Amino acid sequence: MADLSVPLQWNPVPEGLEGMASPDGVAASASAPSHEPTEPPAFDLQLTLQEDLPFCWPAPPLACFSRARPQDEALACEVVGLNGSRVQGQMLKFAPSEARATVQVPPSRTSMPLKFEQFCCLRLTTPLRPDSSASSDGSADQRFDRTVTPYKVTLKQGTPLEGQTVGFVEVDFGVFLYPPHIENGTRLTDVSVQRLFVPRTAFSHFEIGARIGEVLVAQQSATAEQVEEAAQEQQRLRQQKIGDLLLQKQVVTPQQLLEALERQSHMPPMRLGEALVSLRLVSDDQLNDALGQQKADRDTPLGELLVRMGVVSRTDLQSALARKMGYPVVDVDSFPVELDALNRVPYATAARLQALPLMLREGRMVVAMANPAILSAAADELEFSASTKVIPVLAKARSMNDSLWAAYQKVGAAPDERIDGTGLDSSFGNIDTDSLMEALEKEGSDAEGPEEKAIEQSDNSLVRLINSIIIDAAKQGVSDIHIESDPGREKIRVRFRKDGLMRTHLELPPTYRSAMAARIKIMCDLDISEKRKPQDGKINFSKFSAKHKLELRVATIPTNNGLEDVVMRILASAKPLPVAKLGLSELNLKWLMQAVERPYGMVLCVGPTGSGKTTTLHSALSHIN
């Protein structure tokens, strides 16, 4: 009997419900116990979950016991807390729909609602006896003895529950066990049982019947050493994470990939920094260092910053993404790539990002990427290019460039020479705007007739040209880039604004007219099909050239004959100028300081484009700060 002078201490709510796991060692699972199957139960399992109906505590799965009956009176019970303390009282109500049991503990006259997550088990101490008619001939005793089997419930907290039970009933919210009724250390002569409930939140797994390993040893089907070796292997596999298995067993079929993505969707969300710290690939100080740098350079992904700092390698990043975040690892050399997916992304884009489209499913495109450091940034750009949602996975290949070229060769979209996949930055150092212009003029002179073939927005030479124009403008200190189109055979003019003056930077063949506007719209995620309305957007140029941290504000303006002009403003990223260096007169500077230093009011800063409004406001805000 419990000592009622010891108060029942309820621990805080335990961690989230864990799934049913395999038992320790080599043992029979709860759903397939090792003992002989019993006769079909002669009762209806009425696990009532409605709030307005009393709960029917299930009877043991033995024919001699009557069917489950609703609880119509208080039942004597014993409750075991999470810390092992025991209290006896009266169970007034058992409500699985609310995940709680209402208990009254003498001498108190008030009831105490206990959530399932607040106790280890609840035992009804009044023995349950079989029907007298079913047990009068002694056959019930024989059936009872045959069905008594050992059980073990591994609790999340405290020592495990062990004993014998006459079968069990497993439900969503826990498991019901039926230990034989014991008094004074011996089992009674009749076949009475107690009823024991263990909530699902309290245990990790349970075993019914003898362990398979013990049975094999008893039957001399295996040695104790073999059973121990198998148990150790089972424990190793149980502790192995999904990500470890993904790294070892790479995905090679669409079905495997869909199953891996389904597993990933059920994994708890985790940030990359947390994953790297938990794997001890970076320290807290190194992570905080990288996060501090990222505040000043928000356009660079955290993984790329850590790689540049030399803290981790790209292999470490891939390991963290797979082990802790569940990203599938796909063997792109063996995976059957779908042609519809390849047609969504140009070869030049795929080679630059080192990304291979694998398949389309439910309006989404699964893409394998070789560089885990820019996973999210590359996925964003691919979404712009493919006009669909992208699901990134990790790529494993002997040579990603060879795999990309071989895949695109099947659809006739790969050039004769392979792109090295190092990105656009490498081409900037070798081919300048003048060289590109010579090539474009040669193409224009080779074209015959008025119906020349229009250039596509994904053409590699056009992509390189636009990036070269932006980089040239940044190097020359230009504030605006104007791209102006005229109808007919007139060339496209690209003009730079510097210090308020406009000058022509270059002229392009008319075949690039539509493609240039479309390419710039893609870079700032605008609608390329809309040509009759003006649009505004921004370009984060570091996505296209990691060496150049530029941001551009873009405006497109429809003109006559269905054409469009584009204006790109290069936003200043340098530190604000001191107010004293703005070039204001002494009187104007005095008035400005008086205005901005007031605690209330409004300062209007007006003027034409390029007159210095933004520079003045940045300087004033810097002065206030």
Range from 90-99, 185-194, 271-280, 295-304 carrying the lowest mean pLDDT: 185-194
For residue 180, the model assigns a pLDDT of 86
Pick from 2-11, 331-340, 504-513: least confident: 2-11
Phi-psi region of 478 (alpha: psi -120 to 50; beta: other; left: phi over 0): beta
Pairing, β 564-570 against β 551-558 = antiparallel
Query: What pLDDT score was predicted for residue 502?
Result: 87
478 CB burial (10 A radius; 0-12, 13-18, 19+): buried
Q: How many helices (H) and strands (E) does the chain have?
A: 20, 23
Mean pLDDT over each residue of the chain, to the nearest integer? 75
Confidence band (pLDDT; 50, 70, 90) for 556? very high
**What pLDDT sits at residue 261?**
82
pLDDT digits over 137-155, tens only? 555 555 555 668 888 888 8
Percentage with pLDDT > 70 across the chain: 73
pLDDT digits (tens, 9 = 90+) for 7-48: 443 333 333 333 333 333 333 333 334 334 344 343 344 444
Q: Where are the beta strands (DSSP E) in 499-550?
A: 501-508, 535-540
pLDDT category at 122 given cuts 50, 70, 90 is very high
- What pLDDT score does 9 carry? 39
- pTM for the full predicted model: 0.37
DSSP string, 281-349: SS-HHHHHHHHHHHHH-TTS-HHHHHHHTTSS-HHHHHHHHHHTT---EEETTTS---HHHHTTS-HHH
- How much is the average pLDDT of 369-383? 79
Between residues 567 and 36, which one has the greater pLDDT?
Answer: 567
Which of these ranges, 122-136, 478-492, 565-579, has the smallest mean pLDDT?
122-136
- pLDDT 10s digits, 272-302: 888 788 777 888 888 888 888 877 766 677 8
What was the pLDDT predicted at 436? 57
Is the per-residue pLDDT at 5 higher than 70? no
